[in-house]
Amino acid sequence: MDRDAKIFVAGHRGLVGSAIERNLLARGFRQIVTRTRSQLDLRDGLAVLEFFRQEQFDYVFLAAAKVGGIVANRDMPGEFIRDNLFIQMSVIDAAYRTSVKKLLFLGSSCIYPKLAPQPLKEEYLLTGELEPTNEAYAVAKIAGIKMCQAYNRQFGTTFISAMPTNLYGPRDNFDPQTSHVLPALIRKMHEAKENGSPFVEVWGSGRPRREFLHADDLADACAHLMEVYEEGDIVNIGTGEDLTIRELAELVRAAVGYAGELRFNPDLPDGTPRKLLDCSKMERLGWQAKIPLQAGIASTYRWFLKNIAAKSEERRILL
């Protein structure tokens, strides 16, 4: 990509989009365009098309999405499938109609069947039933993948799709009810430490295994793909290593400095038993993750203290 290329980062205020913007700026790109949700509703196809026609982008990173953990996916499946389908359809179609050189669509590892062999290879897509707790979100993401592939076949576009594993990092959602497991644990354990609570409840049995990738690593991988990859087949992005939720909770407890007990509640859903990505394709393309999980959790907690906990304390004092 030419450093003067005009680039749209959709979802720049989120965990992934903000990391992509930081990475592109560090690489020397000078024309990065962003819009907040109040400035442009990406679900509005006509507004998005007009925006693309005015700006004439060279490249697009589609990192905007409605995301959440098990609770949010369970309670709001209609919103998850509706909003994500609208966002994807609006942006992908506008990119085609305005001759964008290349678009990167970000999917999710939840697109793979619940009981697929481990580690998960790209060819396992659509070979079995999805995990019920996030089926609506997964179906929307699969539709985005297939839309990119269909446009490539019919219209000659270069729309690529990357499938990241579980993500964490600065600007994550730390709400214990709607976030993913790692930021939810950070928030729970921080508040338990501050309140002197003797225990923290952790959803599920603690036995499921998960892989975690720092958002800055994902951003670097996405920029790398934009430079070197032009095929329609999906590409996994992860670390190639996983751990149990119990082991994750212990790492978070150490980073937060919480001394209380961890109580696992097996009456609450575990989700998929294991979700580890086969990242050999990405390695062949010349990229590997660099940020160790323990260091990533520690830096994420520092960001939380500065940006979330500090603001919560300010509101408490004002009240």
Question: 166 labelled as ligand-binding?
Answer: yes
CA distance 17 to 64: 7
**Packing angle of the helix pair 215-228, 15-26 (nearest 10 deg):** 60
Residue partners of 314: CB distance under 8 A and separation at least 6: none
Total number of residues shown for the chain: 319
Contacts 24+ apart (CB under 8 A), 18-25: 18/170, 18/171, 18/215, 19/169, 19/170, 19/171, 19/215, 19/216, 19/218, 19/219, 20/61, 20/63, 20/219, 20/222, 20/223, 22/216, 22/219, 23/216, 23/219, 23/220, 23/222, 23/223, 24/223
Catalytic pick among 112, 137, 151, 229: 137
CA distance 255 to 183: 12
* Token pair in block for residue 20: 């992509």
Question: 16 labelled as ligand-binding?
Answer: yes
Question: 305 labelled as ligand-binding?
Answer: no
Question: 270 labelled as ligand-binding?
Answer: yes
Question: 12 labelled as ligand-binding?
Answer: yes
Question: 107 labelled as ligand-binding?
Answer: yes
Question: 42 labelled as ligand-binding?
Answer: no
Question: 287 labelled as ligand-binding?
Answer: no
The phi and psi torsions of 270 (rounded to 5 degrees) equal: -85, -30
CA distance 84 to 121: 24
Question: 141 labelled as ligand-binding?
Answer: yes
Question: 14 labelled as ligand-binding?
Answer: yes
Question: 296 labelled as ligand-binding?
Answer: no
Residue 151 bears catalytic tag: no
* Token pair in block for residue 270: 């575990």
Identity at 86, one-letter amino acid code: F
Question: 106 labelled as ligand-binding?
Answer: yes
Residue partners of 34: CB distance under 8 A and separation at least 6: 8, 9, 12, 17, 21
Question: 13 labelled as ligand-binding?
Answer: yes
Which residues are paired to 10 by β-bridges? 62
Question: 98 labelled as ligand-binding?
Answer: no
Kindly list the catalytic residues: 137
Please give the annotated binding residues, written as ranges. 11-17, 106-109, 141, 164-167, 180, 188, 203, 210, 270
Please give the annotated binding residues for NADP(+), written as ranges. 11-17, 106-109, 141, 164-167, 180
Please give the annotated binding residues for substrate, written as ranges. 188, 203, 210, 270
